[in-house]
Amino acid sequence: MENWLKKRVLLSPNKIAIQAGNTKLTFKEVSDRVAVLTARLANKSRKGMRVALLTNNTIDGYLMILSLQQLGCEIVFLNKRLSHEELQYQLEDAAVSLLIYDESLLHEEFVGIESLTFNQIESLEESRDFQLVSEFNDDEVTTIMYTSGTTGKPKGVQQSFKNHFYSAISSALNLGLTDKDNWLCAVPIFHISGLSIIMRGLIYGMTVTLMDKFDAEKVTFLLKESSVSTMSVVPTMLQQLLEIFPQEGYNSNFRCFLLGGGPIDKVTLEQCQQRNIPVIQSYGMTETASQVIALNFEDAENKIGSVGKTLFSVELKLAHDGEVLLKAPNITPGYLNNPEKNQEVFENGWFKTGDIGYLDEDGFLYLKGRKGDMIISGGENIFPHEVEESYLKLTGVKDIVVAGITDKKWGQVPVAFVILERKLSQQELISYGREHLAHYKVPVRFYQVMSYPQTASGKVKRRELIQIKEYQKNLIK
Amino acid sequence: MENWLKKRVLLSPNKIAIQAGNTKLTFKEVSDRVAVLTARLANKSRKGMRVALLTNNTIDGYLMILSLQQLGCEIVFLNKRLSHEELQYQLEDAAVSLLIYDESLLHEEFVGIESLTFNQIESLEESRDFQLVSEFNDDEVTTIMYTSGTTGKPKGVQQSFKNHFYSAISSALNLGLTDKDNWLCAVPIFHISGLSIIMRGLIYGMTVTLMDKFDAEKVTFLLKESSVSTMSVVPTMLQQLLEIFPQEGYNSNFRCFLLGGGPIDKVTLEQCQQRNIPVIQSYGMTETASQVIALNFEDAENKIGSVGKTLFSVELKLAHDGEVLLKAPNITPGYLNNPEKNQEVFENGWFKTGDIGYLDEDGFLYLKGRKGDMIISGGENIFPHEVEESYLKLTGVKDIVVAGITDKKWGQVPVAFVILERKLSQQELISYGREHLAHYKVPVRFYQVMSYPQTASGKVKRRELIQIKEYQKNLIK
């Protein structure tokens, strides 16, 4: 494949590539800045080297990504929410030789790793003797992102140029593509949700509007006053935006929200329908270089609860136990330094998502839960999600997490950790379950908690929960 | 890659896939018809078999293409304008085992090849025991088209699924893509210009409007009254359409013409600008599965004479002699049964187009002529095209073809074959050339002719011209 940035300078030099605040750069200007940056970085990095990047959603961070790509480095994206110790683990696991960071994000150096702040790079001398990559090779890894998952050590997900390319193409074949598209990125660029917007920008020749931190008021202003056409959101962002939805609506170029990070609730969906705001719900993960399955707006009402249909170039099949298997050119070549995990999740070219689901007669996918979370009790499968959904309808239950514990008689039985808004007795909770669920699905014990252990991206560490003694202290009477 | 038709039935079952006259079929309906057709064809054809197809631009022909693709056959497209003998050559060269044809197009059977008319297929029994292809393999050849070129025997150009896929994607990245797109196909589906529209339809989930024969009045009616957004045209079609351009303009969904088969002239371009009709000029060939280079409307005026810039995913470089070399996933895996030709045109993954050109400072390509047509005279290169362009400005010269003949002193010298509208003497013709061209470029002799030998697709057989004695009869006095 050709070098995307070079190609953009050829095809659309004067188009705005990136804008943030009052700064706007065309593809030609981006390329010129990248030329200077690469000359500075060339002293410290070269093709094939792994360079970690710790950045906010800033133009500097954007330019750094593009520059490292031009130098042929593998970029290890660091999550700014992680602890120093967690980051140290990732830097070591990836054998990173250089860390580049925004000075506002780090106040303590890492042991044994050369570091450069954005400012320090500014004052590096420009090398005259260095090579930029002439082509982007399909199978070459360009980015690495660690996913914490809910168990085990974080795993470095490798993403190749092909992964990003097909991800962008699949998305365009679903959402369409116009020369007026302008994608607002208020999700972190160190996550695939944000990075994929930047990659789409390069591949489509599309303007990306960068915002460092989601702010409903500021976003609404942009959606009204600028020419933003598309925006990636998670459910809470969408809800906040709907709360202050302007009477006059968004700008005429606005096309849709792309929703990740969980399904839309019925109330929110209805609000979007009333206001004529298309929301595309999407399913994807770091391992699939963003969305691979999407539920379009026109199907949302009839297919509530579904994650949608596989995008063009993505194939899906269900394993015997209902696990969702995917095959697509956007799926990671594998986890870094993790042959066991790779052997576990890949089989004959199929990637095991770990999600259990089923397809309806129209090919829409519905998820029941994570394979690892599934509780097998007396030979019956219990999906915590189903039990939780049921209990969330009981007044007084603010939140609930269900997990399995080993049991001599049944193998496993479900127990529940609840956050209560009003007093509910053990007996009331169990009775409610027996009314609404098959008996084997009803948690055998309910514990009261105040919060849950979570990963950096906000996923509840379900299996960790049952191992923490503290959480099992308050058995509800 | 997944099976495109299956995917379309999953993603957009109720969208109109194809329409012709009053018939409209959704992707689901197309798939249902294909299911019946494949069951009938399964008795006669199976995976890997080469099946020739001789059809007009009809829904029957369209369904036949899709059915043969589902059966995994390689489809050899026959040009209905060819003679029986020419077709016989292609059928034999491709070792075709079955010929399927529209009864209106053929009245004489071919020796040694089983044939079935569309009607005969209707009455075949439906097989119950057959397999459709589950996936479309990237590198599998799905279609073969013979190109006559201007010299030698016709060559069978193989086109893989990957070729068609990337061709569609490159085009979408240039033209954009909306869910209201509707592409009018009035160019033959047995040519890549037409077939590529059908493939785009499948890949995009786009409506294709099929017209059997270009008719300016009918096309104008569709452009006004239907929702056609895009249309592939050659220069003469565009000129005819402009002549009867309706005052009220085309329908509001109309986006652009995609022009192939030669550059636009200045007058036509100005007419398009005045009428606000975007024209994308494109360069491509059977070997590149349609367009690989395009000149967008906004550049047309400043870059008159250029064929444009390489589309996304297409790389270009110029050889020492200026020959245009291309590397792209849409380039043919090679000519059928023609190792010598393949060795000649492929070098380290680059495809030699045979066109000589140069790039301007903005990366726009300009073509000077065909490599084989270049005349080397006393060490100087002469491109017939340049000489011809110059003479076409001389009143009285209706058409002119310049070719090289061997010469003892200079190696080669140019001679010209002209069609005159008024009397011009040998002396006048030569004087005109000396005024406007370097002396070595001026043809040494002018012959008067009434027409030129042409290939089926209308290309002048330049090199044949100079070998035909008859054409050298009328030396102008």
The pLDDT score that the predictor gives to residue A208 is 98
A2/B313 CB distance under 8 A: yes
Residues B145 and B244 in one domain: yes
Q: Residue A83 has which token pair?
A: 């602890």
Residues A312 and A223 in one domain: yes
**Domain final position from B368, B403, B430:** B368
The pLDDT score that the predictor gives to residue A66 is 98
B2/A313 CB distance under 8 A: yes
Q: What sections of B135-249 are H helices per DSSP? A: 161-175, 192-204, 216-225, 235-243
Domain that holds residue B464: 374-472
Mutation target vs B (from A5, A10, A31; most B CBs, 10 A cutoff): A10
Of B10, B135, B309, nearest to A10 by CB-CB distance is B309
Is A2 in CB contact (< 8 Å) with chain B? yes
Cβ neighbours for B430, distance < 8 A, ≥ 6 positions apart: B442, B443, B446
**Domain final position from B368, B392, B427:** B368
Q: Is residue B258 part of a domain?
A: yes
Distance, in Å, from the CA atom of B256 to the CA atom of B276, rounded to the nearest integer, reads: 10
Looking at the DSSP bridge assignments, the partners of residue B290 are: B285
Q: Residue A347 has which token pair?
A: 């089989």
Cβ neighbours for A220, distance < 8 A, ≥ 6 positions apart: A241, A244, A245, A246
Q: What is the DSSP letter of B78?
A: P
DSSP string, B86-146: HHHHHHHHTT-SEEEE-GGG--SPPTT-EEEEHHHHHTSPPPSS----SB--TT-EEEEEE
The pLDDT score that the predictor gives to residue B83 is 85
Report CA B51 to chain centroid distance, whole Å. 21
Residues B183 and B64 in one domain: yes
Residues B309 and B383 in one domain: no
What are the phi and psi torsion angles at B305 (to 5°)? 95, -15
Q: Residue A378 in contact with residue A411, Cβ under 8 Å?
A: yes
Would the ipTM clear 0.85, i.e. be above it? Answer: yes
> CA separation (Å) from B184 to A287, B78, B211, B376?
39, 21, 7, 43
- Taking contacts as CB-CB distances below 8 angstroms, the residues of chain B near A179 are 176
The pLDDT score that the predictor gives to residue B73 is 96
Mutation target vs B (from A1, A7, A310; most B CBs, 10 A cutoff): A7
Is B310 in CB contact (< 8 Å) with chain A? yes
Q: Is residue A10 part of a domain?
A: no
DSSP string, A371-403: GGG-EEETTEEE-HHHHHHHHTTSTTEEEEEEE
pLDDT tens-digit profile, chain B (477 residues): 899 999 999 999 999 999 999 999 999 999 999 999 999 999 888 889 999 999 999 999 999 999 999 999 999 999 988 888 889 999 999 999 999 999 999 988 898 899 999 999 999 999 888 888 999 999 999 999 998 765 668 899 999 999 999 999 999 999 999 999 999 999 999 999 999 999 999 999 999 999 999 999 999 999 999 999 999 999 889 999 999 999 999 999 999 999 988 777 888 889 999 999 999 999 999 999 999 999 999 998 899 889 999 999 999 999 998 999 999 999 999 999 999 999 999 999 999 999 999 999 999 999 988 887 888 888 888 888 889 989 999 999 999 999 988 889 888 899 999 999 999 999 999 999 999 988 889 999 999 999 888 876 667 777 778 777 777 788 888
What digits encode the pLDDT tens for the residues B119-165?
Answer: 999 999 998 888 889 999 999 999 999 987 656 688 999 999 999 99
Residues B311 and B360 in one domain: yes
Tally the domains of chain A: 3
Nearest chain B Cα to A178, which residue? B176
Can you tell me whether residue A221 is helix, strand or coil?
helix
Residues A246 and A306 in one domain: yes
Neighbouring CB atoms inside 10 A of B6's CB total 19
Residues A182 and A321 in one domain: yes
Residues B361 and B391 in one domain: no
Residues B387 and B361 in one domain: no
Is A251 in CB contact (< 8 Å) with chain B? no
Is A205 in CB contact (< 8 Å) with chain B? yes
Is B173 in CB contact (< 8 Å) with chain A? yes
DSSP string, A306-331: EEEEEPTT-EEEE-TT-EEEEE-TTS
Q: Is residue B477 part of a domain?
A: no
The pLDDT score that the predictor gives to residue A143 is 98
Q: Is residue B170 part of a domain?
A: yes
Residues B196 and B244 in one domain: yes
Is B179 in CB contact (< 8 Å) with chain A? yes
Residues B326 and B404 in one domain: no
Q: Is residue A51 part of a domain?
A: yes
Mutation target vs A (from B11, B206, B295; most A CBs, 10 A cutoff): B11
The pLDDT score that the predictor gives to residue B291 is 95
Q: Is residue A146 part of a domain?
A: no
Q: Residue B116 in contact with residue B99, Cβ under 8 Å?
A: yes
Residues B220 and B343 in one domain: yes
The pLDDT score that the predictor gives to residue A12 is 97
